[in-house]
Amino acid sequence: MNHIVLIAAIGLLSTATVFAQTASAPLIVVEDRGGASALPYYQSLNPQPDQAAPLAPMPAPHAGNAADAEAAMLPVRSTQLSPGEVQRRVIRAPGLTALFLIGDDERSRAWLRQRQTALRELGAVGLVVNVESMAALTALRRLAPGLTLSPVSGDDLAQRLGLRHYPVLITATGVEQ
pLDDT of residue 172 exceeding 90, the answer is: yes
**Contact (Cβ atoms closer than 8 angstroms) between residue 58 and residue 137:** no
Helix (H) / strand (E) element for 165: namely strand 165-166
Is the full-model pTM beyond 0.75?
no
Q: Which residue has the higher pLDDT, 21 or 72?
A: 72
Gap between the Cα atoms of 124 and 31, Å rounded? 51
Radius of gyration in angstroms for the set of CA atoms belonging to the chain, rounded to a whole number? 29
- Return left, alpha or beta for 48; rule: phi > 0 is left, psi -120 to 50 is alpha, else beta: beta
pLDDT tens across 108-138, in order? 999 999 999 999 999 999 999 999 999 999 9
The 10 Å Cβ neighbour count of residue 176 is 14
**Smallest Cα–Cα separation from 130: which of 86, 169, 75, 85?**
75
Beta bridge partners, 51, equal none
Gap between the Cα atoms of 90 and 176, Å rounded? 9
Gap between the Cα atoms of 101 and 172, Å rounded? 15
Spelled out in words, what is the top-level CATH class assigned to the domain 68-176? Answer: alpha beta
Mean pLDDT of 15-36: 67
Q: Which residue has the higher pLDDT, 54 or 112?
A: 112
Q: Which residue has the higher pLDDT, 168 or 68?
A: 168
Residue type, position 98, single letter: A
